[in-house]
Amino acid sequence: MKAVISGGGTGGHIYPALSIAEKIMENEKESSILYIGTREGLESRIVPEKGYEFKTVQVRGFQRKLSLENAKRIALFMKGLAQSLAIIKKNKPDVVIGTGGYVCGPVVLAGALLGIPTLIHEQNAFPGITNKFLSRFADRVLISFDDSRRFFTKSKSVVLTGNPVRGEITSANMNSAREKLGIPEGKKMVLSVGGSGGSGTINDAMKGVLPALAAEDFAFIHATGRQHYEGFLKELGDIELKSHQVITDYIDNMADVLAASDLVICSAGAITISEVTCLGKPSIVIPKAYTAENHQEYNARSVKNSGAGEMILEKDLNSGTLLEAVFRILRDEQLHKSMSQKSLGISNPHAADTIYEQIKSLMAEKKGIKNK
């Protein structure tokens, strides 16, 4: 299979794209993947490190208001479309796949205009503006939350697949992970993390939570984010920690840390939620305010409404509300067990397989129509 894949700007768009690429290569080892992104985006660093061919186009996201700047960006979009058409014509792919972020706008549109099978994958319960635009042109829209189906009423085909999760997450084992991390048997463990860059809001609340957890000898790992680390430790003050109580700037072995935990405190990024639920972890989800279209709150409400965890809005978050939720979940075995079961119930560990099947079925369908 020859595939063009595009998605960029944030890890929430890039990692699903890479998971799809990995699944294609796993099933068809002679496949070739061309990833199209922007020179400025995070994908320009991450994708080449994974060994995939990488090309760039010029495009910028639109502002959410009428402005002279948007007129310039429309012109840039048209330039990006022309670049995408040239790249795709030269590459002659069997399929074009977009996972969100403004860069996939001209790429997927170019694929559709050239009559190539096109799919987009939406990670969030509330779709991004680019995917909502592309849904009118793409042959198939793959969604991760059934709640988002209502936003794609003009689409040709909408299929619930879930979010693809990295293989290292799906294969992680709690017992071996706890042994690696030195978590004592029978000790409850809390993981708190605000995304790869950290969350100042979660950090502020954890300053009052960590001393209480340490006093009751809970195990925990709290990741502050690199830019917050020094300031966090200074403001936290003196606190005596045991070997199973860790404050770090960044977690580079997330699969083990996540597998070892009994409760996860996190923001509401779609991929984060998918990884948490894939391992059946109860969670306290704190959606970041002011995200595009407030999509994190939609994600968090899906967790809360399913009974897989609790949601605390940033405006309601403080050490008291967070600590109360932590103790309520960890001290109530029945509640914890129920949340764990429901967390696993809303996960889709086979999402990457389902997406691959959708790619193959669309290619076969389009080939059949072409041959008629």
Known binding residues for UDP-N-acetyl-alpha-D-glucosamine are: 10-12, 124, 166, 196, 251, 296
Both structure tokens of 97: 């796949």
Q: How many CB atoms lie within 10 A of CB 264?
A: 25
- Print the SS3 string covering the chain: CEEEEECCCCHHHHHHHHHHHHHHHHHCCCCEEEEEECCCCCHHHHHHHCCCEEEECCCCCCCCCCCHHHHHHHHHHHHHHHHHHHHHHHHCCCEEEECCCCCHHHHHHHHHHCCCCEEEEECCCCCCHHHHHHCCCCCEEEECCHHHHHHHCCCCCEEECCCCCCHHHHCCCHHHHHHHHCCCCCCCEEEEECCCCCCHHHHHHHHHHHHHHHHCCCEEEEECCCCCHHHHHHHHCCCCCCCCEEEECCCCCHHHHHHHCCEEEECCCHHHHHHHHHCCCCEEECCCCCCHHHHHHHHHHHHHHHCCEEECCHHHCCHHHHHHHHHHHHHCHHHHHHHHHHHHHCCCCCHHHHHHHHHHHHHHHHHHHHHC
| Both tokens assigned to 158 | 């909408």
Contact between 292 and 284 under an 8 Å Cβ cutoff? The reply is no
Q: Are the CB atoms for 221 and 248 separated by under 8 Å?
A: yes
Kindly give the interhelix angle for 270-278 and 295-306, rounded to the nearest 10 degrees: 20
Q: Summarize the annotated binding site as residue ranges.
A: 10-12, 124, 166, 196, 251, 296
| Amino acid type, 201 | T
